[in-house]
Structures are given as structure tokens and as C-alpha cells.
Chains A and B, each alone.
Chain A
Amino acid sequence: MTKRLVQGNEAVLLGAVKAGANYFAGYPISPSSEILAQASVYASKNPDFRFLQAEDEIASVNAILGASLAGAKSFTATSGPGFSLMQEAVGYGHKVGIPCVIVNVMRVGPGTGMPTMPGQGDLNQTRYGSSGDYTSIVFYPSTVAECFEYAVAAFNAAEESRSPVILLSDAFLGHLNEVVDLDAIEVSVVPRTLEPLASGSTRLFSGVATYADGEPATADSDEYIRQYEESRLNRLDVASRYNCFEYGWNKDSDTLVVAFGITRRIAQPLSPHFALFRPIRIWPTLDKELIEVAERYKKIVVIEGSDGQYANVVERMLFRRVERVPLLGGRMSLEAIREGLDRIGLLPIEPLESGAGSPAQADGSASAVG
């Protein structure tokens, strides 16, 4: 039982190792590069853990797909631009059915953007980044302890769904240092589910639409629909074992704040004035859970590091307009949130006596697992 200072990115790596990861391929990109560097150090001390700094993100993501087929629990880590490069492979992983984890420590985009500034603008990319239809499972922690816990969850969900699961983080959370006792965090690990290559069968792992025997099914819509439905229902079924969210703060308030990742931490001083719904599983959306909570509130405000990517999703989930506080250009601070709330007339009037609005402990995790 050792409490020590742990960095968010470090916790992701340690969580991966705890989950049994034994192959990492990656490419340096701020603000995720600590994961690459620490994976390299870990590999030098643990010969069964294989490490590759590949020539680019495309090689990295394809390498982890190959490594997984060969029998390894594999992962990579990147940020927005690198994640964009990986999209074709994400779709391939879904189509073929390959368990692996992709960590995206988000920064401000688009393009090369602001490499060291926090953003949350990749949400849609994690759901729709690749071409075609597929069902992503995506987690986004808010604390260093959760970075560890949800890294394990991501590997577990990857095994259960046989798909590339995305673990989100951001420039602030990745570099946040908190005192945690990782050994005290109870996790269970799902063992490898996919039979490794060359076990005696002659399977064809094909990105192209095929029948079970390997013949191309590139003109058979019925076969496509059959395979797609099976995959979609499987993903939703796996996701339903991870109904991870937080509902808290002042539940008697008449306004619900929806916030996630580092934003939830930054907004903590506002907790006396608002209720909070924090999705930890970003995709598939927590429709049932949010609908039930949202019913109780006259107003809903989504505070996020993008121009309304999750706000749009919430509106679709609830068929109801929401207020928005976008935190753009990396300006993710309590002051920016207060300015945003003020602009829409939701800035709480602080009582004169002390206590309200003081920075509360960022204990974060009240993750209610359904």
C-alpha cells in the first residue's frame, strides 16, 4: 500500500500493465509522449513487454492490430492529429474484430493545433472518425486514479467486444499529478478472448467484406446487414456492463451541469450551486441514465472543451435544448467557466459568507457503475 505522486499519463501506462498489456507501439506527440517514454523504460526492464517506436502513427496502430492478432494485449497512445491518422485502422479493427486500446490525450485542434493546451474536441472523432458504420466504446476519466482504473476497463471492454476501445484523456489530466495508492484500487482483468494466429485454424482476417469461408461478400447487402447487426448488438451489450457515470454535487439545484474529463475537476468549486452529471463512458451514450437524471432539472448546461460536440449529443439524447459553455483555445479554467456561465445568465450568486465556492478537494470519483 504505497501512496505516491502519480501523473495521469503514468497512471494510464500502469493501468495498461495491470490489465496485462504486453505490446506497445507508438509515436511521440504532445501531450501523450510520457506514455511512449515510460513504456520504453518499462520494456527495457520487462523483456516480455514489447515496445516499438514506429515511424508514424499509421504504423503504430497497424502494429498493435497485428500484435493483438498474434496474441498480445496491445495499445498505443497519441493525441488528436495522430488519432486522425489512425482512423482507417480503427475501422479495420472494428470490421475484423481485434481487441486493442488506443489512448488519445486530447489537445486543441484542428490540424497541428495547440500541442500543449487541453481540448475535448475529439469526441466526434472517437465515434465517427472512420468511414462507415461501427459502434465505438470510449471512456474518459477525470482523476489520476481513474486513469488507472479506466485503462484496465478499456482493455477489458476491448477483450469482451473484440474491438479497438478508446481511452480519452487531455493535456491537463495527462500531466496532472495526484497522490494515489494504485495498489489499493481493486480491478479485475478479463483474459485474452481472441484465439491467436496459427492455433490450427485457417481464418482470414479481412478488412474487405467476406463470408465466413473467406469468399468476398462485396456485393451482398443482406450479409453485410447480418454481420453489422451482430456486431452492433454485441458492442451495445458489452457497453452495458460499463454504465460508468457520476451524478452528484447539489442534486437539489434547478440546473444540471454536464461535464467530463478535466472540465469536471476545474468546475468543482461550483458544486454547491449545480447538480452534476459526468459521463465516464462517452460512447455509446448513457441515454437511459442521463434521461432519468435530466428530467429533474429545469436547465441543463454542458461545459466542455469544444464548440458543443457533447452538447449536441445531449440535445439529441434528450430532445431538448441545452445551454452551452464552450472552453476554446485551451482556456480551460474556472474563470473561463464562470465567464461562460455569466454570458448565458447562469452564473451563481455567491453568498457573502465563506465556504461556498472554495476549492473543494478534488476527490473526483463517485463513479456509479450501473
Chain B
Amino acid sequence: MAVKDKLKTDLFPTIWCPGCGIGLIMQQLASVMDDLGLDKKNTVLITGIGCTGRMGAYMNFESVYTLHGRTLPVAEAIKTVRPELNVIVVSGDGDMSSIGGNHLLHSIRRNPNITVLCNNNEIYGLTGGQTGPTTPQGIATISSPSGSAFAPINLQGVVNTSPNSYYAKTTVYHQGPMRKAIKEAIEWPGFAFVDIASQCIENNGRRIGFSSANDMLQNYRTQYKAAPAGSTQLDSHQLGIVKGEPATVVGKSTAGSGE
């Protein structure tokens, strides 16, 4: 099957915990790549630090396993030097919006034609389960035993400061919509961000009352609802896509004057 050609199955089983959501993303990404004809000659993967970052090693592509938080500068430069390549960033919520937050703000301004898949599990999983920038306020983690002190970052808001970006909110439970969002994001002319709620049972879920990965997946099914068609803004726990104006000249934001 051609999807298997996108994966280095001889390295399986993967390093991810049983019940991890990342594998669900990798599966759909491989499938979309197969649909779109993405291969190691026309596509590169840029991955960040965190469990999500391991994805590059398992896929049959050249991949750059960057420093923590630095996928965007690396990805943009690669796209600048090799505009013919599809550049796909796969990263976690902390890598993308905490340590990587400043780069996110500025990549948005520059509107590079890259795709970002964000494994948003609301935790720093690899380091054992500390609060992340998207952890909901009040959730107990190993660095916030009395509950996370601050409001989470508004990822949608940051991405949509650009009038030309593509933002999708989905979950690993909603395989069909997630797959569609990944495909549209890759095809989007400009910056595209797919915010994927994904479960971390080992270093998050089991401490906040979930009994299993399936329990967390079922929770995505019941807690997240599709936003009404044509929504220009998603409320929390709404799934949908917010599209800006596709840039006519990719790499030029229409924000501000004279850029």
C-alpha cells in the first residue's frame, strides 16, 4: 500500500507510549501525502523538540529535527532557498507557542508558504508532564500541582493576526475532518496552521482523571463540536477552519502598508 511507503515501518514499533495521539496524526499525514504525491524528492519535514519531534525519523523523508522552538526559522529559510519544496512543520504546543512563540508571531507577518501541524496535547509530555502554554487554567500538572495559574495562549488569535493565514482546529478523534484540514493546509498558498487536540494519557490524562487513551478520545468526541458553517472565529471546543485571504503573492503579507 502506498501509504506505507511514506513510513519507515522497519523502525516500528515507535517510541511513543501505547495510547499516544501522535501516531494518529502521522497516519493521516502519510495518507494525505500519498493522495497529494508528496515524496522525499519534493517534501521535507521539520520537527520540533518533544514527543512529536520523533515523527520525522519514522517517515520516509528528509527531516530536520531542530532545536526546541526553532522549527519556524529553519522551515522558512528552507522554503526561501528551495521554494519548489513542500515544507511541513510538525511540532507540539510548547515547541510552537512557548519557546517558539516569538517565531510564530513573526512567521505570521511574513506569510511563508509552509504548513504547520501542531500536536496540541496541552502538556509538556516528554519531560514528564509540566504545564504547557495551552494547558487550561486550573489543570494540575507536575509543575502546577495546585492547578495551572494562567490562562492558556490563544493560538487561533495569534495565527489569525495575519489576514492571509489558514487556521484549523481539529482533534485526533475526528479523523476525517483532521485529514481534510491537513490536506487543505498543505495546499494553502501561505502560512497554514492545523491545531490538533491530541491525547497524552501517560503524562497528562491519567493524572487528571482519565482512565485510558480511549477515555480521552471519547472526551474529544463529546466535548468538541463543529462550529457553524462560515464561522470567522472559533470558540473554545469548537472545531472548524478559519481562512484568511489567500495571498496573491506568496511570501507577502497583506497586513500593514507597503510590505
The CA of A62 and the CA of B106, in the complex, are separated in Å by 14
Question: Taking CB as reference atom, which chain A residue is nearest B65?
Answer: A206
Q: Give the nearest-CB partner of B79 in chain A.
A: A70
Assess the B60–A202 pair: CB atoms within 8 A. Answer: yes
Sample (8) of A-B pairs whose CB atoms are under 8 Å apart: A23-B80, A59-B102, A62-B73, A64-B77, A70-B85, A71-B82, A200-B40, A201-B40
Asked if B63 is an interface residue, CB under 8 A from chain A, the answer is yes
Which stretch (A47-55, A155-163, A328-336) binds chain B? A47-55
Q: In the complex, which residues of chain B have a beta carbon less than 8 angstroms from the beta carbon of A66?
A: 46, 64, 73-78, 81
| Interface presence of B169 (CB below 8 A) | no
Residues in B lying within 8 Å of A, measured CB to CB: 8, 11, 15, 40-44, 46, 56-57, 59-67, 70, 72-78, 80-82, 85, 102-103, 105-106
Q: In the complex, what distance in Å separates the CA atom of A23 from the CA atom of B85? A: 17
> Is A325 part of the binding interface, using a Cβ–Cβ cutoff of 8 Å?
no
Residues from chain A with a CB closer than 8 A to the CB of B59 are: 202
Most B C-beta atoms less than 10 A away, residue of A50, A60, A203, A206: A206
Mostly, the A contact residues are mixed
Q: Is there an interface contact between A205 and B85, defined as CB atoms closer than 8 Å?
A: no
Q: Which of B8, B57, B67, B85 contacts A197 (CB 8 A)?
A: B85
Q: Which residue of A52, A88, A197 contacts B62 across the interface (Cβ within 8 Å)?
A: A197
Shortest CB-to-CB span from A134 to chain B, Å, is 15
A55 and B103 in contact, given A63-B76, A66-B78, A202-B8 (Cβ under 8 angstroms): yes
B72 cross-chain contacts in A, Cβ below 8 A: 59
Contact A62 B82 (CB under 8 A): no
Known: A66-B75, A207-B66. A215 touches B11 (CB 8 A): yes
Report the bound CA distance from A64 to B60 in whole Å: 25
What residues on B are CB-neighbors of A199 within 8 Å?
Answer: 41, 62
Q: How far is A2 from B57 in the complex, measured between Cα atoms in Å?
A: 52
Q: Which residues of A contact B56 (CB under 8 A)?
A: 204
Known contacts A23-B81, A55-B106; 10 further A-B pairs (Cβ under 8 A): A23-B77, A23-B80, A59-B106, A66-B77, A67-B81, A70-B77, A70-B80, A71-B81, A89-B67, A215-B57
What B residues does A239 contact at CB under 8 A? none
A357 within 8 A of B: no
Instruction: Report yes or no: A205 in contact with B73, Cβ–Cβ below 8 A.
Output: no
Query: Across the interface, do B74 and A62 meet the contact criterion of CB distance under 8 Å?
Result: yes
Contacts A200-B41, A213-B11: A207 and B77 contacting too (C-beta < 8 A)?
no
Task: Collect the chain A residues with CB atoms within 8 Å of residue B82's CB.
Answer: 70-71, 196-198
**Least CB separation from A69: chain B residue:** B64
The reply to whether the CB of A56 lies closer than 8 angstroms to some CB of chain B is yes
A44-84 near B? 1/0 per residue, CB < 8 Å: 00000010101110111011111101111010000000000
Interface size, A (range): 35 or more
| Chain A positions near chain B (C-beta within 8 angstroms) | 23, 25, 50, 52, 54-56, 58-60, 62-67, 69-72, 74, 88-89, 92, 196-208, 210, 213-216
> Roughly how many angstroms separate A201 CA and B80 CA in the complex, as a whole number?
21
Cα distance, A211 to B17, chains bound together (Å): 21
- From A206, which residue of chain B is reached at the shortest CB distance? B65
Residues of A near B78 (CB, < 8 A) are 66-67, 69-70, 197
User: How far is it, in angstroms, between the C-alpha of A152 and the C-alpha of B57 when the chains are bound?
Assistant: 35
Q: Is the CB of A205 within 8 A of B63?
A: yes
Chain A residues contacting B62 (CB-CB under 8 Å) are 197-199, 201-205
Docked pose: A214 CA to B61 CA in angstroms: 12
C-alpha gap A188/B73 in the complex (Å): 31
Rounded to whole Å, the gap between the CB of A73 and the closest CB of chain B is 10
Whether the pair B64, A205 counts as a contact (CB closer than 8 A) is yes
A198 and B77: CB pair below 8 A?
no
Q: How many Å from the CB of A147 to the closest CB on chain B?
A: 25
B164 CB to closest chain A CB (Å) equals 18
- For B60, the closest partner residue in chain A by CB is A202
Q: Shortest Cβ distance from A199 into chain B, in angstroms? A: 8
CA distance A72 to B80 in the complex (A): 10
Given contacts A58-B70, A200-B40, contact A63 B60 (CB under 8 A): no
| A56 lies within 8 A of B102 (CB) | yes
CB-contact partner of B77 in A63, A201, A206, under 8 A: A63
Do A59 and B44 contact each other (CB < 8 Å), given the known contacts A198-B82, A207-B66?
A: no
When chains A and B are docked, how far (Å) is the Cα of A123 from the Cα of B78?
Answer: 31
Shortest distance in angstroms between B214's beta carbon and chain A's nearest beta carbon?
28
Q: B81 and A62: CB pair below 8 A?
A: no
| A65 and B74 contacting across the interface, CB-CB below 8 Å | yes
Determine which of A63, A207, A215 lies in contact with B73 in the assembled complex, contact meaning CB atoms within 8 Å: A63
**A337 to B65 CA separation, bound complex (whole angstroms):** 48
